[in-house]
Structure 1
Amino acid sequence: MTEPIHPSQSAPCPDGPGRIPGRQAKKTPLEQMGGTTGLVYTTLPIVAFVLANASFGLTAAVGTAVGIALAISVLRLVRKEPLHPALSGLFGVAVAAFVSWKTGSAKGFFLTGIWANFALGVLFLLSVLARRPLAGIVWGALNGTGIAWLKDKPSRHYYDIATLTLVGVFATRVAVQQWLYDEDRTGWLAVARIAMGYPLLALAFLVVLWAGRRSGKRLKALAGQQPAGSV
């Protein structure tokens, strides 16, 4: 006689052994930021600008960078990838190219990036001083966990560390790239922009991930200690 199948003995989840149905595996830091494809998309306009400037001059470099950024946006649209990263990338390249053309200098292409990192560094630092670390606020928004952690002092400290790590990333970028800018090292500016982009951000993201997990465990433990029926 065939024994009836108990609900707990149901067939394995199609998502794979050990996985909860409908739940996706957590993405790596690189995947969270667009994966290797996103890295290539970000790098191509920069490399194209430097090469075109060295071979054909500033005007050609500006046109080439914007043209490649536009082509990447169209490609992402055709491939039905998220539109927002494509448009923001195109806008960023267009603004950088405009500044470069307006200043009449190839190194001007990297000026907006330096300004942006400076502004972000100041903003994230102020958020720590205001006891509202932005790393935690952004992490909560992305993961739907909200800002309940703000009421827990240790959780706030975790996110303080994560936010200050990001401040360090922004400050390092500004220090190195501003020095290269002042020295008129356009080629090295491109190298620094690429090398200090995703790699440094991925390292900082690991700290944010650590803070999020530590905070999550604490809040879960605290919730379990509350008496049943308490609000």
Structure 2
Amino acid sequence: MTNLPGGEPAAQLDLAQRDPDHRAEPAESAEAAAAREAAASKEAADTVMKAFGGVRGMIDMTLPGLVFIITFNLTHQVAHAAWAALGLSGLFVVVRLLRRETIQHAFSGVFGVALGAWISMKTGKAENFYLPGLLWNVGYCLGLAVSALVRWPLIGVMLGPITGEMFTWRKQNPGRLAAYTKATWAWVVIMGIKPMILFPLYLAGNVNLLGWLKVALGIPPMLLAMYVTWQILLKAPPPIKAELDEDGS
């Protein structure tokens, strides 16, 4: 290619002569690129937050444990503490029903609290209030690990319906599959820290330290796992939307 006087490429001049109406496509401005990246970032963050109930869902699952340990320290009665925690969980469900919000995370919290309350009252041991949650945490980590090993990472299973891609990431989007697998392993590592810290306290019968640490380790690890997932998805290929049948199924 040769340049004409003034530095204009000959090829561009020839194109203009053959097509006077031709206009070069403008390059994406820095502002537009930043806005597009910000939108993608927000969508990824919203998707992760929605899948795990958001901050409200985490609070619904954390506060009953705080109420239990406070009530137990005040009354030294397992039954009083258990009923206080169960009552708060039930209140969360009622409030969500009145506001016509999803009760998925609140209901799961009620189930766990009810089971812990029943075991602790049955045995008379306050530390047993936290046993179902500890066992659930261990089972959850094992389930995540197995799902990643069999190439059905649970993070993808959970987020697929929310992003509209369903399970296209398994066969049509290998980069997305790799990202979901990486995120799932991140959850295994981060969420696996809790039972490693709390189970020795449970076995030692240290109710106070167990209760306070259970509350302290409730939200931060989940926020960290969600942040890591968000960062991984930001660098992943965009989702391929699943095609629905004509009847919408």
> TM-score w.r.t. structure 1 length?
0.74
Letter aligned with residue 63 of structure 2: L
Structure 1 partner of 2:229: 208
Deviation at 1:218, TM superposition (A): 8.1
Query: Residues 172-211 of structure 1: matches in 2 within 5 Å?
Result: 172-211=193-232
Query: Residues 1-231 of structure 1: matches in 2 within 5 Å?
Result: 26=43, 27=46, 33-56=52-75, 57-151=77-171, 152-217=173-238
Letter aligned with residue 95 of structure 1: L
What does the per-residue CA deviation read over 1:30-56, in whole Å, with 9 as the maximum and x for residues that have no partner? 576444444443333112111221222
Alpha-carbon distance in structure 2 between the residues aligned to 1:156 and 1:104: 47
Alpha-carbon distance in structure 2 between the residues aligned to 1:30 and 1:219: 20
Tell me: CA distance 1:154–1:114, structure 2 relative to 1, closer, same or farther (3 Å). Answer: same
Number of aligned residues: 198
Aligned sequence identity (%): 29
Deviation at 1:123, TM superposition (A): 1.0
> What runs of 5+ residues in structure 2 fail to find an aligned partner?
1-34, 37-41, 242-249
| Worse-matched range after superposition: 211-220 or 44-53 | 211-220
What does the per-residue CA deviation read over 1:160-197, in whole Å, with 9 as the maximum and x for residues that have no partner? 21111111123211111101112222222222222222
Alpha-carbon distance in structure 2 between the residues aligned to 1:159 and 1:41: 26
> TM-score w.r.t. structure 2 length?
0.70
Alpha-carbon distance in structure 2 between the residues aligned to 1:187 and 1:204: 26
Letter aligned with residue 42 of structure 1: M
| Worse-matched range after superposition: 165-174 or 190-199 | 190-199
Root-mean-square deviation over aligned CA pairs: 2.6
Contact 1:50 1:187 survives alignment (8 Å) = yes
Letter aligned with residue 171 of structure 1: G
The higher-RCO structure (CA 8 Å, 6+ apart) is 2
What does the per-residue CA deviation read over 1:75-100, in whole Å, with 9 as the maximum and x for residues that have no partner? 22223322333322222211111121
